[in-house]
Every structure is written in C-alpha cells, then in structure tokens.
Amino acid sequence: MLTNYIGIISSFESRSLLKTLTLHRGISTVPIAGKYRAIDFPLSYMINAGIKTINVLTNKSCRSLRTHLDVSKSWGLNRKSGGLVIHNDDLPTDAELLMANFNDLWQSHEDMVVIAPTYMICNINLKKAMEFHELSDADVTVIYKNISEPSDAFIGCDILDFNERNILTRVCDNFSPKKNINISTEVFLIKKDLLFSLLLSRPNREIALKDIIYRSKNNLNIKGFEHKEYLSCLNSLGNYFKTNMDMIKTTNLKEVFFNENRPIFSKIKDSIPTHYLNGADVKNAIISNECSIKGKVTNSVLSRYVTIEAGAEVENCIILQSCTIKSGAVLKNTIVDKEVIVEEGKSEGHFAYPLVIQKNM
C-alpha cells in the first residue's frame, strides 16, 4: 500500500562542503531559488507521495533547521498522530542517531521506509518509485539519474552500476567527469524490519546509513529506479551557485517547481510584493517578496527583504535575505550572505568559484 511508508530525512551532510556559507546554518537550510530551503525538496516529494510521518535526523547544531520547520503546517504535518519529528544529538553518523531513536520508528504502524538526504536537489515522483518497488522483487530500491554527458556537477557523488537484471552490482565515487553514468540520489525504499536488521549488524559506529545499505548489495536484491528530471548536488560552493543559476532557466523552474501534482512546499511567510521603483532594470531573475529594486539586476536570485539601491548593479549573483546593495556597488558571480550591507565598489568572482561575502564581515 502506498500509504504504508514513513519518511527519514538525513541532514548529516558535512558543513565544510559549502565552506563559509554554512558557518551559521546547515546544508539543509541553505536557500534555493530565493524563498526555498534544501530540506523543502525531500519534505515535499515525500508529502506528495502521501507520507504522513517524517523523521529528520540532524546534529546538535540545528537552530536554523528548527526555525525553518517550526511551522509544520506549511507542509501539512501538524498532526496529532505522526507528523514531523526532529531527532538531534551529538552522534557521529545518521545511522547512530537513527539507532538511538529507533523505538519511535519501530512503534509506528508503517512497514516501509523512504530514506533521503537534503543536499540532493530534485523533485522525485516518489509514488512511481513506490509502485516500482512494490511490484518488483527488490529488497531495496535506490533512485538514480543517468548522466549522459560528462559533468563536473556530480564530482564526489556515488556512481551505481547495475547488471542486465537491474540489480546493483557496484558502487564507487565519481572522481572525474564521465559519460553515461548512474548518479545515486541517495534515496532508498526499504522495509522497516530489514533496515533495523542492517543497523544491528553495522560493522562500526562511524559508518553512514547509505553506506550500510550499499555494503549489503552482495546479500540483498537492490534494484534501481531511474529519476529522469532535474538533479543537482550541493556538495561544493560551485555546485550551490550553479543550482541557483539553473533555477533561473524556465525549463528547470517549471520542471522542479511548477508540476501541479508535485508542488514544492516551503515555510509560509506573509509579506508584501516586491517594489520595482523608477530606474529599476531587471532581466532574467528570480526576485522574492518584499524586495525594493531601484538598480540593475541580471541573471540573479534574490531572497526576501533585499534592497538594490539606484546605481547598484548585480549580475550572476545570489543575494540572501535582508541584504542591502548600496549605490555604486557592482557585483558579479557573487554570493552575499544574509543581513550584509555591500558598500560602493566592485566585487567579482568566477562562475565556477563564486566570491562569497560573509555575514558580519
């Protein structure tokens, strides 16, 4: 039954991947396309598949995550039974944290589990993956995307090899751009009792949940389900920048956000529309609510409450919440962290290595 699933979202990605951008937040809450956060994507595709109970695994430093998720009704998860549960502790891996809280999972009435990370940005048709899993003889289903052309965007991700029967035979790291590779989304469908068995037999406390599943490939029937739509991985600052720039493209924006059967939900905030004042020049940009635009904005993403003063120029930039770009400031290929005031002058990074203007600099 498609309603017989519980969700587990692992927010254990290393903060060092995004360098200074994650000094004050985890990867799960970095902004995507202005008003969204990375965790909104797995939350949304689980909800769209009918999952009513979702457990989030994170470490102790999770204030930004709790702040973002404090209004669970934004995702329809403010429920008396089930709903959204955050587990956090100072443990080395998501597997250890899950084991420490497994009683909560075990006592739920659902028999099946969907596991997902927060740093893979995609809008998966999870209902179809569930149907595939239940009609197959798989012990575990792992969701992947085939990358036909070489791309730097998936360096460091897991490559999956399947045999002619679609059974997982090999997992390896992606060290260099290659043609026709299967990139793991790190989303797994598995029976709850099988997951418990794998956790009990884990070789040590330092092994991550996904690696426990991968290591069982010789003993279990692990099959692949292909995700054919947009995918990106927030495992570097360059990839974070590219992901936001990708969202400006109409095809990606429609594919990710404007599927009427699979919307992406986020925390609801009541705010007024953006003001475009005399002299504003905006081209090909995502502008969130309650901004004030007097200057020039091109190929950029602006979060809420951003002010672009007259005479300021922003191109190929990501401007986070509550920033002010002063008159005479010229920014290109730059990420500006929240609550920063950028004074007059030129700041320019490279598209693959964007400049980051930190909070409280």
Residues 303-340: pLDDT tens digits?
A: 999 999 999 999 999 999 999 999 999 999 999 999 99
Question: Is residue 204 pLDDT above 90, yes or no?
Answer: no
Domain shared by 294 and 168, yes or no: no
Residue 224 backbone phi and psi in degrees, to 5: -105, 145
In-domain check, residue 168: yes
Same domain, 204 and 281: no
CA distances, 220 to each of 137, 162, 168, 213 (Å): 11, 13, 9, 9
How many domains does the chain contain in total?
Answer: 2
Query: What does the DSSP 8-state code read for residue 71?
Result: -
CA separation for the pair 312, 325 (Å, rounded): 6
pLDDT one-digit tens code per residue, 157-182: 999 999 999 999 999 999 998 899 99
233 token code pair: 């991985």
Same domain flag for 100 and 131: yes
Q: Give the sign of the dihedral formed by CA 221, CA 54, CA 4, CA 101.
A: positive
Residue-range definition of the domain harbouring residue 228:
5-258
To 5 degrees, how large is the angle CA 185–CA 187–CA 191?
160
User: Which of 258, 287, 317 is a domain's end point?
Assistant: 258
Structural domain contains residue 264? no
Tell whether 102 is covered by a domain: yes
Mean pLDDT (whole number) for 25-44:
95
**Together in a domain, 323 and 179:** no
pLDDT band for position 13 (50/70/90)?
confident
The 3-state DSSP class for residue 263 equals coil
**Is the separation of the CB atoms in 343 and 359 below 8 Å?**
no
CB–CB of 302/275 below 8 Å?
no
Q: Are residues 251 and 282 in the same domain?
A: no
Residue 267 in domain = no
Task: Look at residue 67 and give its three-state secondary structure.
Answer: helix
Q: Is residue 141 assigned to a domain?
A: yes
Q: Are residues 219 and 111 in the same domain?
A: yes
Do the domain assignments include residue 195?
yes
Residues 185 and 75 in one domain: yes
Within-domain flag for 64: yes
Which of 354, 353, 279, 270 has its CA nearest to residue 320?
Answer: 354
CATH of the domain at 91: 3.90.550.10
| DSSP for 303-326, written as a single string | -TT-EE-TT-EEEEEEE-TT-EE-
Position 347 scores a pLDDT of 96
pLDDT digits (tens, 9 = 90+) for 254-281: 999 998 899 999 988 888 999 999 999 9
* 279 and 159 belong to one structural domain: no
* Separation CA 241–CA 319 (nearest Å): 11
CATH number (domain holding residue 339): 2.160.10.10
246/135 same-domain check = yes
266 part of a folded domain: no
Q: Does residue 60 surpass a pLDDT of 80?
A: no
DSSP string, 144-198: EEEE-S--GGGTTSEEEEE-TTSBEEEEEE--S--SSEEEEEEEEEEEHHHHHHH
Q: What does the block give as tokens for 130? A: 């569930």
Which of these three, 233, 258, 283, is where a domain ends? 258
If asked whether residues 157 and 245 sit together in one domain, one would say yes
Question: Quick one: 31 and 75 in the same domain?
Answer: yes
Average pLDDT, the chain: 93
Beta strands 36-37; 31-32: pairing state? antiparallel
Distance in angstroms (rounded) separating the CA atoms of residues 350 and 132: 42
The 3-class SS string of 195-260 reads: HHHHHHCCCCCCCCHHHHHHHCCCCCCEEEEECCCCCEECCCHHHHHHHHHHHHCHHHHHHHHCCC
**Domain end point (choices 232, 258, 284):** 258
Residues 117 and 49 in one domain: yes
Taking the whole predicted model, whether its pTM rises above 0.85 is answered as yes
